Chain A
Amino acid sequence: EPEVTQTPSHQVTQMGQEVILRCVPISNHLYFYWYRQILGQKVEFLVSFYNNEISEKSEIFDDQFSVERPDGSNFTLKIRSTKLEDSAMYFCASSAGRGARTEAFFGQGTRLTVV
């Protein structure tokens, strides 16, 4: 069964450092997403990406964040200068289509710890 894969599963980084989280979406999907879950809080939408550009972003997704699809398979989330409050589980997701009825498939997540 096709799945979304994320690497690494756990990343520890020092405050102020740049970090890149990687995701391989399901191969025939066209829409890609990042979500995050701070420990004990809700899963929050960060950004969606389609046709090599951001389709929608939340207010959390500020200038410190960027996304990229550098090749035909990977989808990355970069945090430019990490802060302690960026510590969270980051989930990548992909879907074949867009809209209310579309099912999104999630990866296992990358746990980011900023120290």
Chain B
Amino acid sequence: GDSVTQMEGPVTLSEEAFLTINCTYTATGYPSLFWYVQYPGEGLQLLLKATKADDKGSNKGFEATYRKETTSFHLEKGSVQVSDSAVYFCALRGGGADGLTFGKGTHLIIQP
């Protein structure tokens, strides 16, 4: 079945550092890929998405590129802020599926 693997956390960085959270997937067909973010005490919010190979999703300074050859969708940000502290979930939806398949989530902590 489909699966998503993302790096374990917590990831602790200083403000203005460069961020990469790795995500790789296994899926049949041509899934769409998503990054969701969960801020403390809140629900899951869509951060960005990409629906086909080589697409780049971007939002709030975050970017991720759909790499079919490496089955990856790594999340990056050039300069993180304390307000980016949250849990980040990589997810996919296969072409024939209703439900999303999530990774375990990566807890990101940004220190001032």
Contacts and interface: CB of A to CB of B under 8 A. Distances in A.
A91 B44 contact: yes
Nearest to A55: B98
B94 A100 contact: yes
A56 B99 CA distance: 8
A21 B95 CA distance: 29
B98 A48 contact: yes
Interface residues of B, number: 27
Contacts of B42: 108
Contacts of A41: 104
27 contacts: A4-B43, A6-B43, A31-B98, A33-B98, A33-B99, A35-B99, A42-B103, A42-B105, A43-B44, A43-B89, A43-B102, A43-B105, A48-B99, A56-B98, A91-B43, A98-B98, A99-B95, A100-B30, A100-B94, A100-B95, A101-B51, A102-B93, A103-B46, A104-B100, A106-B36, A106-B44, A108-B41
Given A101-B51, A103-B46, A104-B100, 6 more contacts: A41-B104, A58-B99, A91-B44, A100-B97, A105-B46, A109-B43
